[in-house]
Chains A and B, each alone.
Chain A
Amino acid sequence: MNIVILGAGTVGNSIARSLCAQHHNVCLVDQSRTALAEIEERLDVGTVCGTACDPVALFQAGIQSADLCLALTDRDEVNIVGASVGKEMGAGRSVARVHQPTYLDTTTFDVADHFQLARLFSLEHLTALALARKIRVPGLLALENLAQGSVEVQEVSVQEDAKADGRRLDELDLPHEILVGLIAGNRGTVIPSADDVVTPEDRVTLIGRLGELDDVRRLFEHKPPPRQHVVIAGGGEIGFSLARILEHRLRFHVTLIESEEARCEFLSERLEMTTILIADATRRSEMEEARVGTADVFVAATGHDEDNIVCGVEAREMGCPRILTVVRRPDYDNVLTKLGIEQAVSPREVLGQEILAMLQSGPVISRRQIADGAAEVFELEVREGAAISQAPLKNLPLSRGLVAAVVRSSMIWVPGGADELKVGDVAIVLVQSDSIDAVLALFAPGNGD
């Protein structure tokens, strides 16, 4: 694929490296000749010196034949405008990185839609999602957070004597916005129909809007899992996003440690259920006061790698059994191993995975395997003339495939059988592995006949 990256900073640099490793054709645009020269020495990439919004520079970078334009500079507005110009000039899809959360909100104004961007993403939010995925204990594992985390997929094991035990799916009276995507058990893994019966030991995959699955889980497991205490050090964007993701789930109690008083005030206005402490996580005495030693999970998410490493080690010594650290610099890997920090999360690696999942062609935006490869989750674009847009979902031959969610103008919801997809929608589709071709055919653009 041809990929143009705007911005040769640390993020652009690391993404370029992983794309090159996969033999994609990469061109980087940056204002700094020095930065470009350094990259050229190490990687087989094209480079153009210019600003990310400069049409001449974009033209020289081959934007017209690019499949993907990635705007990754450290300035939100430059990324948005550059990605938009790139899209209009001919890039297949454009995505832009932003820091400010209000750019991601669509209720007052939809920035991504206005600028024709396939996606706006925040590195901090993606990192928080990756941390959240690691925090859930195995068996309660959310399989994937799709569509930037607005739709959630969770796997739950059916316990004996739970309300759902021995009942048909249509008798469970599930809320309108929640679907059962897969049932895995003795029968193998199936995409169920309404008359399928749930039996103990089945693993059921639930799909719904973020935060709405916890109530439904209780139908399948009568004993709720014990509440976990999570301590997060650092109330920046990553810590804030993570607390927000976790606090809506009943099985977590979250304590957030932040040293700046004004930031604590901001956080306490926005995080209803989280305990917020004004404290310095690099001081042992203050960590002790926060009772880090008795916590189930400690997450070091300050803005400094060194602080994260130090307080991660302290937390481990105090007796906290699980430590997650955010580490940005790749050359700390060796140090981390020596210090015994096993679970480091690198924002750049998280973004790299996100972008690799997006390197698809045609209507496929991304695809990921679930349930040990028995099924996949696709993000699919509904294009002009595609069969999927020409009838209500219940009338389409979607056997062993399930439209789990629809993204329309950046809003996400779980559709019912009577709903119809429209051109421009993005559908999140669950497909049994043996039916992928049949389901993808429904999304193939029309031949104009």
Chain B
Amino acid sequence: MKFAEFVCRDAVTTGMASSDRDGVIGELVDALVAAGAVSTDHRNSVLAATIAREELGTTGIGHGVAIPHAKHPAVKQVVATVGVSDQGIDFGSLDSRPTRVFFLLISPPDAPQDHLQALERISKHLQEELFREFLIQAQTCDAIHDVLDEADQANPD
């Protein structure tokens, strides 16, 4: 599954304003709402579902990245967005270091395979140091789009 198939380009956010976990997740959910990927009615419940998942154990997997995610009927297909924070945020990450790059993934409950594939796609690329660094350094949304497009071209599956 390519990034282009599930990352909502219009919701990609750089220079995030929030300084805590729930704020970051809220900012990204709002970006999905503004881009039309999640309806306003469902904003709070998508946010609550994502925070509930974080409370079971952080999705901040270290190296400055986190993949908050939830399943929610508000979406009809897997949608994701990327956010980059300049100052870094305490996301309770496994290596206790500040988190700079966030992939928020929301999947419909009836597409568990797509959900797993999207999670796998994101996790696999985030293992690569260069991919992470390019995202952390991205100053504009276009720069993030470029990083994702390049990853798709290099790994078309």
Q: Which residues of A contact B (CB under 8 A)?
A: 101-102, 105-110, 113, 175-177, 209, 212, 269-270, 408-411, 413, 422
Contacts and interface: CB of A to CB of B under 8 A. Distances in A.
Nearest to A176: B41
Given A105-B53, A107-B70, 18 more contacts: A101-B56, A105-B56, A106-B71, A107-B49, A107-B53, A108-B119, A109-B116, A110-B112, A175-B41, A177-B45, A269-B55, A270-B55, A408-B109, A408-B110, A409-B109, A409-B110, A409-B112, A422-B110
Contacts of A410: 109
A411 B74 CA distance: 11
B73 interface: yes
A413 B119 contact: no
Contacts of A269: 55
Contacts, number: 41
7 contacts: A105-B56, A108-B53, A209-B45, A409-B109, A409-B112, A411-B72, A422-B110
Main secondary structure of the interface of A (DSSP, over half): loop
B156 interface: no
B69 interface: yes
A269 B55 CA distance: 8
B8 to A, nearest CB: 19
A175 B41 CA distance: 8
Contacts of B71: 106-107, 409, 411
B43 to A, nearest CB: 12
A102 B55 contact: no
Contacts of A409: 71, 109-110, 112
Contacts of B52: 105, 107
A238 B124 CA distance: 38
Contacts of B110: 408-409, 422
B28 to A, nearest CB: 15
A113 B57 contact: no
Interface string B43-77: 00100010011011100000000000111110000
A286 B109 CA distance: 46
A422 B111 CA distance: 13
Contacts of A102: 56-57
A172 to B, nearest CB: 16
A107 B45 CA distance: 14
Nearest to B22: A272
A289 B38 CA distance: 48
B142 to A, nearest CB: 31
5 nearest CB pairs, A to B: A411-B109, A409-B109, A107-B53, A413-B73, A408-B109
Given A177-B45, A209-B45, A411 B56 contact: no
A352 B151 CA distance: 53
Nearest to A270: B55
Contacts of A177: 45
Nearest to B50: A107
Nearest to B72: A411
Contacts of A108: 53, 69, 119
Nearest to A410: B109
A110 B53 CA distance: 13
A133 B28 CA distance: 36
A408 B76 CA distance: 13
A42 to B, nearest CB: 40
A109 B116 CA distance: 8
Contacts of B57: 102
Contacts of A107: 49, 52-53, 69-71
Contacts of A175: 41
A109 B55 CA distance: 15
A145 B100 CA distance: 40
A306 B19 CA distance: 46
A24 to B, nearest CB: 33
A413 B70 CA distance: 14
Contacts of A212: 45
Residue among A106, A176, A411 with most chain B CB within 10 A: A411
B116 to A, nearest CB: 7
A411 B69 contact: no
Contacts of A209: 45
A212 B56 CA distance: 21
Interface string B69-91: 11111000000000000000000
Contacts of B53: 105, 107-108
Interface in B86-129: 109-110, 112, 116, 119
A110 B119 CA distance: 14
Contacts of A176: 41
A36 B71 CA distance: 43
A270 B55 CA distance: 6
